[in-house]
A and B are shown apart, each in its own frame.
Chain A
Amino acid sequence: MSTVPRLTALDAVHRALGATMTDFAGWDMPLRYGSERDEHVAVRTKAGLFDLSHMGEITVTGPQAVDFLNFSLVGNIGSIGVGRARYTMICAENGGILDDLIVYRLGEPDAPEYMIVANASNAQNVLDVLRDRAGDFDVEVRDDRDAYALLAVQGPESPGILKSLTDADLDGLKYYAGLPGTVAGVSALIARTGYTGEDGFELFVAPGDAEKLWNALMEAGEPVGLVPAGLSCRDTLRLEAGMPLYGHELTAELTPFDAGLGRVVKFEKTSMSESFVGRAALAAAAERAETAPPRKLVGLIAAGRRIPRAGFSVVADGKVIGEVTSGAPSPTLGKPIAIAYVDAAHAAPGSAGVGVDIRGTHEPYEVVALPFYKRQK
């Protein structure tokens, strides 16, 4: 494997902006351009522009695309209308989560085409697993990772910014929908999706068009407060919004039910067969979650100011009762927050005596329901 980090089509732009870069899943990505807290606040109150070109696109076409995806993924892909998107997962036979995905249905009603967006760190594995599962299905699984650059405009000002650059019907574009269009003269798949808890758009474009689109968005957005935003604030934004991150809240050792996301698993599917990879294990996991959940995913809010980090123990009465999966200072709450798996007995909001072991000191934390932040619509 190459150890040279991959560069996105916007690499020169990031460097010209003086970004602090970081290695992320083999990609050299902007961590922050200035203050990550300012970038976070800009996305919550105005808008931020992200380069997410590390995300992995995989396109599935062919007459049996629906049956294949219903078999390979846990969701009911057959129920996704043209131009809509769905949050779903791909699991192993034992029910363990291999990745969480967004599936966009593109193309025409009679020519099914689905674009799957996988996490950068898992994209190769997802591609390999899908190809392996394609077996006898009449489908083509195409690696489109190099076919797209991905820019995201997120925040309350994002609809206005995008409207000034496109004739596409953005008002008709619902959350979790996507349509092909032209933005600033660039052909794009315009999706109303994101990972920040704000309204916003993700724009899939040819890498050669990425810089032109970035510059047009910055020019249109700067007057209303759009700023370049890095992966650091993306992480605190998704954390406040209670959105899981693979490798933290989601792992191959957990099923969607363990992660509190059993709703993404559909045992009834719109296709020839309702069998799918992981079905038996997931049915058992659903039963277990209902009757005797081992640990539950909760939010924790610090009374003090020390930051909980992934892997820190959650404690009560001097005993370890859970583990932090993600933690950061929350710019919106003004306090450190964390997502953690804790024993069911301590998972109810307001559970007394819960703390986090921060390098030997038990710091008191309040147990709350996720998310920490929900935007006013």
Chain B
Amino acid sequence: MSNPQQLRYSKEHEWLSATEDGVATVGITEHAANALGDVVYADLPEAGAAVTAGETCGELESTKSVSDLYSPVTGEVVESNQDVVDDPSLVNSAPFEGGWLFKVRVTEEPKDLLSADEYTEFSGS
């Protein structure tokens, strides 16, 4: 497993892409997806919702548990991934690609996001 170099990471195991026109994509890491097991239900923040860095903005349910989804940044959601709502297993099969969760117009970014190497060390994988 390798964490893509171009992404940044939160300690709640979310990843954040570089912003394009002020909008960044958010997902959970492969490490997190593996820890959850098969994701069977995704409750994602909808377009227009305000999210705050480090606060819950949705939930992911797996066979055995429910996990809160945290936003790695503060801003306004512009799109959630309907493909994941329809087929949550995308989170397991392609956490860094087709399994992205939502796009957010970033207004504020915490300073403590991790680089890929820092996150790899933090998560141990």
Compute how far the CA of A20 lies from the CA of B33 in the bound complex, rounded to whole angstroms.
Answer: 13
Whether a CB of chain A sits under 8 angstroms from the CB of B38 is yes
Q: Do the beta carbons of A36 and B41 come within 8 Å of each other?
A: no
Q: Which residues of A contact B34 (CB under 8 A)?
A: 20
Q: Cβ of A232 and Cβ of B41 under 8 Å apart?
A: no
The residues of A that contact B40 with a CB separation of less than 8 Å are 305, 307, 329, 336
* A/B pair count, beta carbons within 8 Å: 35
Q: Identify the interface centre among B35, B61, B63: most chain A CB within 10 Å of its CB.
A: B63
Residues on the B chain within 8 Å of A309, using CB? 66
- Cα distance A123–B66 in the bound complex, in angstroms: 30
Assembled-state Cα–Cα distance A31/B36 (Å): 12
CA distance A35 to B34 in the complex (A): 9
A236 at the interface (CB under 8 A from B): yes
A32 B37 Cβ-Cβ under 8 A? yes
B38 → A minimal CB distance (Å): 5
Which chain B residues border A336 with CB–CB below 8 Å? 40
CB of B111 closer than 8 Å to a CB of A: no
User: A328 near B: Cβ within 8 Å?
Assistant: yes
Tell me the bound Cα distance from A236 to B59 in angstroms: 21
Q: Are B61 and A306 in contact (CB under 8 A)?
A: yes
Q: Judge whether B61 and A36 touch: CB under 8 Å.
A: no
> Is B92 interfacial (CB 8 A cutoff)?
yes
Inter-chain CA distance A329–B66, complex, in Å, is 12
Whether the pair A329, B37 counts as a contact (CB closer than 8 A) is no
Query: Are A35 and B38 within 8 A (Cβ)?
Result: yes
- Report the Cα distance A33→B101, complex, angstroms: 25
* Assembled-state Cα–Cα distance A232/B40 (Å): 14
Q: Is A145 an interface residue (CB 8 A)?
A: no
Shortest C-beta distance, B90 to chain A (Å), equals 13
> Are B38's CB and A307's CB within 8 A?
no
B92 surroundings in chain A (CB, below 8 A): 35
- Contact partners of B89 in chain A: CB under 8 A: 37
Interface residues of A (CB under 8 A from B): 20, 31-32, 35-37, 232, 236, 305-307, 309, 328-329, 336
9 shortest interchain CB distances as A-B pairs: A329-B40, A37-B38, A305-B41, A307-B61, A36-B63, A35-B38, A36-B37, A36-B38, A306-B41
